[in-house]
Amino acid sequence: MEAMNRRPEPTVESPVVRTSQMSERSVTNVVFAGLGGQGVLKASDILSDAAFRCGLDVKKSELHGMSQRGGSVTSDVRFGDSVASPMVPIAEADYLVVLSVSEVDFARPLLKENGGVLLTADLINESRLANRRSLNVAMLGALSTFLDIPEEQWHRAIRANLPEKVHEANIEAFNIGREARSRQA
């Protein structure tokens, strides 16, 4: 894949008025993967919203359509000072959050080879969750321990994206995910 990294040579003498101040380093890339019905898209909605509430530029992208019918689903979330493409380039995910163990092999190529963090569902003891459907939010709890997003914003985003009757269960799931990660770390 050498060619992929080759960039056109800049010439020395051309005067440059650069309005593009896109520092790629300031962008955090997260990819969620799982199967249709597991809440992959909901998890990415909540992360996007939490980052958005921090005043960051956010882009989130996924393919809808057949996702309800049990097929593989991935969703990309990118945030930082300024994000260009809405899609996380292959092998550039800083974090890969996988909700179904069966999807790990499929999704792994998306993760950065050096320093990328893989979070899989076996991190969570599902028997501790009041409702197994909040596994997605528990995984966000685990992810949150790596990110510079205040807990308060996570809570707001969870509340804004889920129906009221499941708010408490999901805040609890979020905390279970946070604990699971800090115990492991």
Q: Which of positions 71-100 make contact with other proteins (CB under 8 A)?
A: 71-74, 83-87, 89-90
36 vs 175 by CB, closer to other proteins? 36
Q: In whole angstroms, how close is the CB of 79 to other proteins at the nearest point?
A: 10
Burial class (CB in 10 A: 0-12, 13-18, 19+), 152: exposed
Please list, in sequence order, all residues whose beta carbon lies within 8 angstroms of the beta carbon of residue 182, skipping any fewer than 6 positions away.
145
Q: In whole angstroms, how close is the CB of 78 to other proteins at the nearest point?
A: 10
Separation of alpha carbons 17 and 120, rounded Å: 45
183 binds ligand SF4 (CB under 6 A): no
22 vs 66 by CB, closer to ligand SF4? 66
Separation of alpha carbons 48 and 138, rounded Å: 16
Question: Using CB distances below 5 to 8 A depending on partner kind, what does residue 146 bind out of other proteins, ligand SF4, none?
Answer: none
Q: Most distant CA pair in the chain: distance in Å?
A: 65
DSSP state string for 110-123: GB-TTT-EEEEGGG
Q: In whole angstroms, how close is the CB of 70 to ligand SF4 at the nearest point?
A: 9
Q: How are beta strands 95-98 and 117-120 bridged, if at all?
A: parallel
Angle between helices 135-144 and 151-161 (to 10 degrees): 160
Q: In whole angstroms, how close is the CB of 29 to other proteins at the nearest point?
A: 11
9 binds other proteins (CB under 8 A): yes
Task: Tell which one of 40, 93, 96, 107 touches other proteins (CB under 8 A).
Answer: 107
Taking residues 68 to 107 in sequence order and writing x for each that binds ligand SF4 by CB under 6 A, - otherwise, the string is xx--------------------------------------
90 vs 168 by CB, closer to other proteins? 90
Separation of alpha carbons 77 and 149, rounded Å: 14
Question: Using CB distances below 5 to 8 A depending on partner kind, what does residue 98 bind out of other proteins, ligand SF4, none?
Answer: none
